[in-house]
Amino acid sequence: MKAKQNFASISILCFFMLLSCAPSNRQVLATNESQVKLRAIQTRAYDTTDKQMMLRAIIATLQDLDFIINGADHVLGTVSGTKLDRYALRMTVSVRPRGETQLLVRANAQYQIYAVEEPEPYQQFFEALSKSIFLKAHQVE
Amino acid sequence: MRRKSYFGAGVCIFLLFQLTSCAPKIPPEALQLSPESLKNRQLQTRRFDTDEQTMLSASAAVLQDLGFTIDESETDLGVIACSKTRGAINAGQIAGAVIFAVLTGSVTPVDKDQLIRASLITYPITVDKEDKSKCRTAVRVTFQRIVRNTSNQVTRRECINDPEVYREFFEKLSQSVFLEAHEI
Per DSSP, the residues of B75-91 read: GGGTEEEEEEEEE---H
CB contact under 8 A, A87 and B27: yes
Partner B contacted by A63 (CB < 8 A) = yes
**Is A85 inside a domain boundary?**
yes
As a whole-number percent, the residues of chain B with pLDDT over 70 amount to: 89
- CATH number, domain at A135? 3.30.310.80
- Spelled out in words, what is the top-level CATH class assigned to the domain B50-181? alpha beta
How many domains does chain A contain in total? 1
User: Can you tell me the mean pLDDT for B7-31?
Assistant: 72
d(CA B102, CA B106): 8
Q: How confident is the model at residue B10 (pLDDT cuts 50, 70, 90)?
A: confident
User: pTM of the predicted model, to two decimals?
Assistant: 0.83
Interface contact B142-A120, CB threshold 8 A: no
Which 3 state secondary structure label does DSSP give A77? Answer: coil
pLDDT at B1: 52
Q: pLDDT-derived band of residue B23, with 50, 70 and 90 as boundaries? A: low
The vertex-A92 CA angle with A90 and A96, nearest 5°, equals: 170
Q: Is the pLDDT of residue A107 over 70?
A: yes
Residue in A4, A14, A69 nearest the CB of B119: A69
Q: Do A69 and B121 touch (CB under 8 A)?
A: yes
3-state class (DSSP) for residue A98: strand
Considering only residues B66 and A4, tell me which one the structure prediction assigns the higher pLDDT: B66
3-class SS shares of chain B: helix, strand, coil, % to 5:
45, 30, 25
With an 8 Å Cβ cutoff, are A7 and B5 in contact? yes
B45-96 residue pLDDT tens: 999 999 999 999 999 999 999 999 999 999 999 999 999 999 988 888 888 8
pLDDT tens sequence across B26-55: 898 899 988 888 999 999 999 999 999 999
Alpha carbon of A55: minimum distance to chain B alpha carbons (Å): 7
Disruptive mutation site among A4, A66, A118 for chain B (greatest number of B CBs within 10 Å): A66
- The residue segments making up the domain with residue A96 are 31-139
Interchain contact, B76 vs A89, CB within 8 Å: no
Q: Which of A14-18, A71-75, B98-102, B174-178 has the highest mean pLDDT?
A: A71-75
Alpha carbons within 13 angstroms on the beta-carbon side of residue B115 total 11
Q: Where are the domains positioned within chain B?
A: 50-181
- For residue B115, list chain A residues with Cβ-Cβ distance below 8 A: none
Most confident option among A27-31, B46-50, B130-134 = B46-50
Of A3, A59, A66, the CB nearest to B79: A59
